[in-house]
Structure formats: C-alpha cells, structure tokens
Amino acid sequence: MAFSKSQLHKFADLIKIDISDEKLEQMNIDSVIEWIDKLKAIDTRGVEPMLSPATHNLPRRADTVTDGGIRDAVMANAPDKSGVSRGYFAVPKVMDGD
C-alpha cells in the first residue's frame, strides 16, 4: 500500500506536525506500512493476549493491613510539638480567612 505525498501531508496535518517533502522521502513510510501489513497477516487465533513476553514470578508478601506501628516515632520528627499530643502535625497557616 503506497501513500502519495498529499496523503502523507494530510496525515501530518491531522496529527499537527510540520514535515518537509525531503523528510518524508527519508522516512520511507511505505516500508513501515508493508511491515504492519505482514504483522496483520499473522494468524493469532487461539493466542492469549499478554502484557509482556517475559514471565514475572516475583516473590509476594502477604497483604495485611496494619497501622504501621510507628506513629510515635513519626510524630517525634514534628518540628512544632503543639499537635503531637493530639496525633497530628501542626503547620503554619497558608490561607487567609478573607
């Protein structure tokens, strides 16, 4: 399937790129289209889709929900200790009430 220069310029205009005639000739678009046509001709019936050709058998840990158990250690890092006793960080006001 061969594309004319006017068709290629129309495609370029649709995808909002500016390309010269010289650059179009260098790109050899027709060979890419031929390659895609060859891929389309491959019979893939019965082949399950996959995300990656590599198998990933990574170790997994149990997904258990916890509170982290380090609240006091985290709160010890608070620069302003006024909110620590109530379990939150005190921060400077960033918005006016106006």
**pLDDT confidence of residue 41:** 92
pLDDT string in tens for the chain (98-residue length)? 677 778 888 888 888 888 888 887 777 777 778 888 898 999 999 988 888 888 878 888 888 888 788 888 888 888 888 888 888 888 888 887 65
The pTM of this model reads 0.34
**pLDDT confidence of residue 26:** 79
**pLDDT confidence of residue 1:** 60
**pLDDT confidence of residue 13:** 87
DSSP the chain: ----HHHHHHHHHHTT----HHHHHHHTHHHHHHHHHHHHTS--TTPPP-S-SS--------------S-HHHHHTT-SSGGGGGGTS------S---
**pLDDT confidence of residue 97:** 66
**pLDDT confidence of residue 43:** 92
